Structure 1
Amino acid sequence: MNSQFSIPSLPETSQCSPNQLIQLARNLPDATISIPSVDKVLEAIEQGKADQLSKLDWIYCIYAKAQWDQQNIDRSSKTSVAIWKVAISNSWLQHQLLWRLAIYDGDWQEQVLAQSLAESFDIFANSVIHLLPVQIIRALRSTQAGIELAKIPCEHRVNRTELLNTIKEDLPIWIPLFSKFIEDITPYFNTIRSPNQQQVRWLLSCLDEMSDSQQIKAVNHLLTKVSNDIASNHSLLVDWLQNKYRNGENWYKLSDPARQRLREWIGGINYTDFQKLVNIILNKLDLQDFESNRLCRRRDFWANYSNRFERLRILLPNTSQIAIGYQIQGDVDLLEDDGSDCTEVCIFDFGEWFVVEFFRGRGSETRLFPKNPRNQQILFGESTLSVKRIRCLGSDKHDHEFLWQVFSRVWLANNGILPNPDTQRSRNPTADQLQQRENKLERWKREIERLEREAKVYCNKICFLID
């Protein structure tokens, strides 16, 4: 049968002579192929010729050193020390050894690095202790690797992500410990006896980069393990926790002990601001003795409720603001002059209630407002408030007359505002003391009624002028 396809014709192959290639080969210089070996590397080190070794020589030596050690047990340690000493001045060799040492673990040990090289690492490390990869390797090899790893970014003021970006060319950042040590950030922070502001900022940077579940776990640990003294000295930490966890769904993700501690921390910071205000007023303003004594008693009384302060707003008359200047931080505003007696005003947020404390002047009462949107907007939202405007709001009130601390405590408790758990109970007053209080209380009631009438007249006049 004839084929339907024709076979294409191929060009004829030219007759090539290898004479030229042979001639070229004859003109090449003699070359000796150097086969890598551990002995060759060790001999070069002994002769001070380590700088003449090729990268291939070093790679083979590192790879074959474990097997060579088995055949030269008596020389294994000494020769590994010699290799590390060369690495001190050879950055490429450093990288090869440190990279393998970082993953020297478990079933991979012998395939990655000889045991003798791993065990003699300190010879090298003690000479270049300042190198970041060396610090990390030492942390990885410690019994508390996570804690020691967390210490390094703290000292360098970087978070975990920033640390890994710095060393990703030097070490295998994919090993498990690098992904897990973020869980040891707060346990490490807890080991710092008196953290400074930079260390607190570092902690917050680390918390911000965590996943939601990691952060919840870290914050629970932080709140239940870190001392109250640290919280009271670092309002930045408490402010971060308050913004992230006091409101919203995160609040309910915290454990009961953590929620209680956060309340205490927030209260402690806010009470400290209140305490500082009173102390500055006592030092800066020319007060009469009875006014100074009254302020001291207020300060000491509210210390028993320091765990309950969720927010604090301070309103200062112009004279106090001039005298105090910028020594008070936080939510501080000017108290509008409405003709009332000169006084400072503090507004406390106790969760379900707002408490308004008038420091001085006639009346000088404490007022209790339910926490509703209207009161919140007025007491914490409006930029201009005055004594009369606050008195116009209408509220339950309490005096500061004789034995007022005893009865204020009962009054607050009846509204669910309880003192700190460790607060001592007051002694019961005698019959004579009760009668003495009753006489003074009658005068105070008449005075406060007069002040409230004045306040209503003032507020009605303001409203009329606005309309």
Structure 2
Amino acid sequence: MNFQFSIPSLPETPQCSPNQLIQLASNLPDVTISIPSVDKVLEAIQQGKADQVSKLNWIYCIHAKVQWDQQNIDRSGKTSAAIWQVAISNLWLQHHLLWRLAIYDGDWQEQVLAKSLAESFDIFANADLVSHLLPVQIIRALRSTQAGRELAKIACEQRINRTELLNKIKEYLPIWIPLFSRFIEEITPYFTTIRSPNQQQVRWLLSCLDEMSDSQQIKAVNHLLTNISNNITNNHSLLVDWLRNNYRNGENWYKLSDPARQRLREWIGGINYTDFQQLVNLILNKLDLQDFESNRLCRRRDFWADYSNRFERLRILLPKTSQIAIGYQIQGDVDLLEDDGSDPTEVCIFDFGEWFVVEFFRGRGSETRLFPKNSRNEQILFGESILSVKRIRYLGGDKHDHEFLWQIFSRIWLANNGILPNPNTQPSRNPTADQLQQRENRLERWKREIERLEREAKAYCNNSLLRSH
């Protein structure tokens, strides 16, 4: 059943002066306008002739029923229920009653609707033919103790934002009543009560956020970030991307509360670490690696898990062989590494806020490099579509090994540059003197290898530059 009302058109008010109206009235013959009493309308209902009651008679009946109820207290509820029963199949009467019920509040109560009609609304609202209709659901929400929250729930179920909701009901209900303006404040409080939101519900939330004013949106995002589970990031990167694009940089970042900023860092880091973790697992499963290579990758994955909350961005670069083996199973920002003759290796570039960290997975050298976050490095590491191992090494930066006990010393190295692990992370154990000596021996070989690789990178990049000219 379609819920449609026809709004009666009213004639334009003639532009007459008071003197003209007085003169016109004095010339009119004596006429008595007969309007049926409430009893006559109720009698028509009782006789099954409600369809013969005119719109004018209904208007008079509903208006006069306030006074009629005072004189017929014992019959007020029963007769109001009968009127609502008629409204189930009378679209115009539905419209008229619901419009008045929507503004039935405070000092206006007796001016717009009899109390007995307001109290017997459920007789109508529970009827199968109308209970599912949007205006009926909205009236129920408006009359509840948590009107704003109930309106937000309806909007979510309908997958419509506030503007779309008002457009749907403006022909049926007075959209200027205050609750329609205030319910937008309940959007995120309602969303955070959804145990496992689906993709459609997330898209609805973002649509609502996008139409809010700046102050409304800041308040909503603060509530969202501090009241929803981190688990949402595993299923809804769309939400995290929206938050990152709108709140991670620029003045909006500083408008968030400290707990909200911390939670956003964790969300962004968590989803980026998941991409990194997935890449390592795919390489382990899809590529034919030697045992020492597999063990090295597992240790890298576990080490960076302690920094998962810090990942602001992640870029993945794959050699052709890995791209063929892995296919399109990896999420995130993935590009092909240009073949420059280097040992095959996957490369991950992490954005840690003040620093870029480049991790070489395999091959000779297999180092971690640290670059300050400036416009030049950002353009090269995150902006250029074509990068190679030698091109990255040619950039220089500070570097760290993956030799024996590298996790202990990498953590110190990162901390010295302001890159700290997640809270409550277990500290590294203290190495023995023999272990330190063993590490030192291996480190000398690694340093010589890195120096050789950097010379190769410099020669390759300089020759490429000459060829381009």
- Please report how far the alpha carbon of residue 329 of structure 1 lies from its aligned counterpart in structure 2 after TM superposition: 2.8
Letter in 2 for 1:80: S
Letter in 2 for 1:89: S
Matched, 1:392 2:389: no
Q: What do residues 405-432 of structure 1 show as CA deviations (whole Å, max 9, x unaligned)?
A: 1111111000000001121112112222
Deviations 1:373-431 (A, max 9, x none): 11111111111111111111111111111111111111100000000112111211222
Instruction: Note the alpha carbon deviations across 1:337-381, whole angstroms, 9 max, x for none.
Output: 111110000000101100000011111110001111111111111
Q: Which amino acid aligns with 1:61?
A: C
Letter in 2 for 1:235: S
* Structure 1 segment 209-288 matched on structure 2, within 5 A: 209-288=211-290
- Specify the alignment match of 1:18 in structure 2: none
- TM-score of the pair, normalised by structure 1: 0.91
Distance, in Å, in 1 between the alignment partners of 2:148 and 2:370 is 50
Aligned partners of 1:232 and 1:265 also within 8 Å = no
What letter corresponds to residue 153 of structure 2 in structure 1?
Answer: K
Within-5 A mapping of 1:131-146: 131-146=133-148
Deviations 1:102-121 (A, max 9, x none): 11111111111111111111
Within 1, Cα distance between the matches of 2:389 and 2:47? 91
Indicate the residue corresponding to 2:19 in structure 1: none
What is the SS of the residue equivalent to 1:332?
Answer: strand
Q: Partners in 1 of 2:423 and 2:145 — Cα distance?
A: 40
On the 8 A contact 1:348/1:355 being kept in 2, the answer is yes
Which residue number in structure 1 is paired with residue 207 of structure 2?
A: 205
1:68 CA drift (Å):
1.3
Please list, as runs of the form range in 1=range in 2, the aligned pairs for 1:348-359 lying within 5 A after superposition: 348-359=350-361
Range with greater deviation from structure 2 (344-353 or 369-378): 369-378
Among residues 124, 147, 150, which one is paired with 1:148 in the alignment? Answer: 150
Deviation track 1:192-230 (CA, whole Å, cap 9, x = no partner) reads 111111111111111111111111111111111121111
- Taking the TM superposition and a 5 Å limit, the aligned residue runs for 1:307-346 are 307-346=309-348
Q: Which runs of 4+ in 1 moved over 3 A?
A: 31-34
Alpha carbons 1:36, 1:56 under 8 Å: kept: no
Match of 2:194 among 192, 195, 214: 192
In the alignment, residue 246 of structure 2 is paired with which amino acid?
K
Task: Look up the match of 1:126.
Answer: 126
* CA distance in structure 1 between the aligned counterparts of 2:116 and 2:81, rounded to whole angstroms: 8
Which consecutive residues of structure 1, in runs of 5 or more, have no partner in the other structure?
A: 1-30
Could you say which residue in structure 2 is the equivalent of 1:454?
Answer: 456
Hey, what does 1:38 align to over in structure 2?
A: 38
**1:64 corresponds to:** 64
Secondary structure class of the residue paired with 2:231: helix
- Report the Cα distance in structure 2 between the residues aligned to 1:78 and 1:239, rounded to whole angstroms: 57
Q: Which amino acid aligns with 2:117?
A: L
Unaligned runs of 5+ in 2: 1-30
Aligned residue type for 2:46? E
Q: CA deviation at 1:61?
A: 1.2
Partner of 1:289: 291
**What's the Cα RMSD here?**
1.4
- Deviations for 1:211-270, whole angstroms, at most 9, x for unmatched residues? 111111111111111211113321111111111111112122222221221111111111
> What is the match of residue 100 of structure 2?
100
Residue of 422, 438, 443 corresponding to 1:441: 443
Deviation at 1:34, TM superposition (A): 4.7
Contact 1:314 1:331 in 2 (8 A): yes
In 2, the alpha carbon distance for the partners of 1:32 and 1:366 equals 98
Q: Which residue identity is paired with 2:137?
A: Q
SS of aligned partner of 1:335: strand
Shift of 1:50: 0.8
Equivalent of 1:406, from 385, 405, 408? 408
- Report the equivalent of 2:165: 163
Separation in 1 of the partners of 2:76 and 2:430? 84
Larger radius of gyration: 1
User: Quick one: which amino acid aligns to residue 169 of structure 1?
Assistant: E
> Identity of counterpart residues, as a percentage?
88
TM-score (norm 2): 0.91
Q: Which residue is 1:14 aligned to? A: none
Are the aligned partners of 1:159 and 1:202 in contact in 2 as well (CA < 8 Å)? Answer: yes
Query: What letter corresponds to residue 240 of structure 2 in structure 1?
Result: V
Give the match for residue 465 of structure 1.
467
Amino acid at match of 1:86: V
SS in 2 for 1:419: coil
Q: 1: CA distance between counterparts of 2:396 and 2:32?
A: 104
Q: How does 1:105-116 map to 2 (within 5 A)?
A: 105-116=105-116
Q: Does 1:381 align with 2:378?
A: no
**Residue by residue, what CA displacement relative to the aligned partner does 1:437-457 show, whole Å, maximum 9, x if unpaired?**
222222222221221122122
Post-superposition shift, 1:32?
11
SS of match in other structure, 1:334: strand
Distance (Å, rounded) in 2 between the aligned partners of 1:41 and 1:293? 87
Instruction: State the alpha-carbon separation in 2 of the partners of residues 142 and 280 from structure 1.
Output: 52
Q: 1:33: Cα distance to partner?
A: 6.7
